[in-house]
Amino acid sequence: MKSSGSTSEQSRIYNERIILQLVRQYPEISRVEIAKRTGLSAQTISVITSSLLERELLCVLGKVTGRRGQPSIKLSINQQGAYGLGINVDRNHISAALLDFSGAQVLLLERAVSFPTESSAKSIAQDVIEEVKQKLGHDWLKVKGIGLAKPDYMDSWLDSLVTNSDQRGDLEALKSALAYWQSDAFEDWLADVTGLPCFCQNDAAAAATSELLLAPKPPSKDFFYLFVSTACGGSLVANGECYFGANGKAGSFGLIPTATGKHGQWVLEALSLSSLHRYFMSKGLAWPKQDHDWLSSSYRIEIERWAREVAEEVKTALVSVIALYDPQVILIGGRLPEVVLTQLIMALRQVASANIVLPLPDIQIAQTGYTAGVLGAAVLPLYETFAPQQNVLLLSSKG
């Protein structure tokens, strides 16, 4: 077997990404400072930054003054130098987001749809893509790729997750239609219709990526992310990177059995919007239509009861995550209203502290929250194209 190595071209790409990362972290950094932080030669830095300036990925924001010799230029990310487009297909909506090269949100679109089939997903995606194209005009050519975030097992657990009365009338037909999501067909279609490379990730992992790269305050480098939507999933971040495991399923919090099955046999059924929807129905309460409705006394009482019951159902799963992964913090994001999240976190803290002898990580609301899935999808093309991943340097091993 031949050893893995690197080519000069791969080294150049890696060094380019390291420099882009530094400029992103330290706006208005000089080439001299880049040299100090990277150990690269002045000539290498000059060649690479000149190329990045020519390709409009970097821009000059002035010169460093007050030093001897020729003034050094200040380098920053060119926000309009590149874009990432993301699409999040979920069980209750399809959304799209456009991020510029700095990670700032340019556009956010959302369409409500219950358990989208192939035809409805393509129709909505086509509409939002056209809207993005109109927004960007000629700059559409600067979109580096399209990220797709979607849940696993879209066609499973329909009896507990589907709350739409029309769809519940024929779950077998719905299951057959949703089998489409078991394949990569939609990912391939997106690539064909846009002419862009498509990067696909589980919605929980995309949300964790969003927190890691886009949160206003830098998160811990070791955290566990719980993404709660129509169902729920999890993702583990270790040492600042998502950890996927041998089969890409690490962090599958939703696939752990519940304590009693009261709100569903699996955590993904119990800790979910559909669980809360079913609970409200059992209490004769309609789903709130206005934000202030969530704050009424009748809803707050039932939300607190639901949160306590669900916390009891998932406590073993939560303690298992703490015991196996030892995260510094557990973040909860996704589609739950803030008033529900607050009650849920209080209940989870109580059951976890009463059932663990290990250090208890703090449980917090994720910073990127409601839009985490689609923002995570949008950052994928930028991350895959420009982030300084060590494996860029490696050649494939050959037997």
Summarize pLDDT for 288-328 with one digit per residue, the tens. 989 899 999 999 999 999 999 999 999 999 999 999 999 99
8-77 is a CATH 3.40.50.880 domain: no
Summarize pLDDT for 318-366 with one digit per residue, the tens. 999 999 999 999 999 999 999 999 999 999 999 999 989 999 999 999 9
Mean pLDDT of the chain: 91
Q: How many of the other CB atoms lie within 10 Å of CB of 393?
A: 16
Best CA proximity match to 144, nearest among 371, 393, 390, 383: 383
3-state secondary structure of 177: helix
Summarize pLDDT for 20-62 with one digit per residue, the tens. 988 988 889 999 999 999 898 999 999 999 999 999 999 998 7
Give, in order, the Cα–Cα distances in Å from 220 to each of 29, 172, 192, 212, 215: 25, 43, 38, 8, 11
Best CA proximity match to 227, nearest among 384, 122, 387, 375: 375
3-state secondary structure of 316: helix
What is the reported pTM? 0.89
82-205+374-385 is a CATH 3.30.420.40 domain: yes
220-366: same fold as 82-205+374-385? yes
- Whether 142 has a pLDDT exceeding 90, the answer reads yes
Tell me which residue has tokens 């949008």.
378
- Whether 390 has a pLDDT exceeding 70, the answer reads no
Summarize pLDDT for 180-210 with one digit per residue, the tens. 999 999 999 999 999 999 999 999 999 999 9
Summarize pLDDT for 56-108 with one digit per residue, the tens. 999 998 776 655 555 678 999 999 999 999 999 999 999 999 999 999 999 99
Give, in order, the Cα–Cα distances in Å from 238 to each of 120, 146, 320, 385: 37, 25, 16, 21
pLDDT band at 1 (very low <50, low <70, confident <90, very high): very low
Domain 220-366: give its CATH code.
3.30.420.40
Q: Report d(CA 187, CA 197) in Å as an integer.
A: 9
Q: Report d(CA 195, CA 145) in Å as an integer.
A: 9
Q: Report d(CA 88, CA 229) in Å as an integer.
A: 12
Percent of the chain beyond pLDDT 70? 93
The domain locations on the chain are 8-77, 82-205+374-385, 220-366
